[in-house]
Structures are given as C-alpha cells and as structure tokens.
C-alpha cells in the first residue's frame, strides 16, 4: 500500500513535470536539478476492528530548483498544492486532508498528510454454523 501510494505520487509528478528528475530513493551522486525526492514518513496504524485499519501517513515531496530561490520554491508549492488535492491509486481515490510546506536550506518540503481507512481481507477460516432446531411458537 505504501509503495503504491509513493508510486502514484511519482506518476502524478512525472505527468505534470516531465522535464524534472524524480527520485524515490536517495541518490549518492549525480543529482540533476530541478528534481523531486519522495519520502514516506513514519505514520500511525490504528486497528479499528479485525477487518479495518485507520492509517495516518505523511509524504514529504522535496523539491530542489535550479535557481535555489525562495520565489521558485513558493511558486512550486502553489503548483503542488493544486496538484495534490486527491491521489488516485489501485482504483481508489485518497483525499489529502492537509497540505503544508516549509523551505529549509533552499529545499522545498511539501508535506501531504493522509488519513484513510483500509478494509482488510478476512483470511480467518470460520466454522460453519450448526443447524438450529426451534420448536417454540412466536407470539
């Protein structure tokens, strides 16, 4: 699920910014600007029942511009804000509940906060119910 989410974000960025390099993993050398880094930050998984989980996840979309100016970073933040209102993956659409950004050392960090419920498949084997014999009248 997390990799599908990351891949959906990468796909959306590739479609919108075809001339930007997009990294899903760290790059040791040979960084080419302008580029994006996608990082899935640790999140919470809350068991609601045997078949449902609530997941709270934050994705950090980092943007490195060629010019390294605040103006370019703020301009990109506006574009990303419009782009990531919803994310489609695996036939589902996830609404982004909060979008925020900060600029640290000339790098834009655009955060996507997601809160959604996952329906789990029931893998438990259940015993069949026995036949019920009921001889009383219903009044």
Q: Where in the chain are the domains?
A: 2-119
Q: Looking at the domain that runs over 2-119, which CATH code has it been given?
A: 3.30.2000.10
Pairing of strands 92-104, 86-89: antiparallel
Q: Is the pTM of this model over 0.85?
A: no
Instruction: Tell me the β-bridge partners of 118.
Output: 53
pLDDT in tens, 61-96: 999 999 888 999 999 999 999 999 988 888 888 888
Q: How much is the average pLDDT of 83-112?
A: 90
Band of pLDDT at residue 16, cut at 50, 70 and 90:
very high
């Amino acid at each position: 699920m997390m990799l599908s989410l990351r891949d959906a974000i990468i796909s959306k960025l590739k479609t919108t910014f075809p001339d930007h390099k997009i990294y899903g993993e760290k790059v040791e050398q040979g960084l080419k600007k302008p580029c994006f880094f996608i990082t899935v930050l640790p999140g919470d998984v809350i068991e609601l029942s045997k078949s449902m989980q609530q997941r709270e996840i934050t994705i950090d979309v980092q943007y490195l511009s060629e010019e390294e100016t605040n103006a370019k970073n703020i301009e990109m933040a506006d574009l990303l804000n419009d782009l990531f209102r919803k994310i489609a993956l695996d036939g589902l659409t996830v609404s982004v509940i909060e979008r925020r950004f900060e600029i640290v050392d000339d790098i834009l960090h655009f955060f996507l906060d997601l809160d959604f419920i996952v329906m789990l498949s029931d893998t438990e084997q259940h015993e069949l119910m026995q036949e019920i014999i009921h001889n009383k009248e219903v009044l």
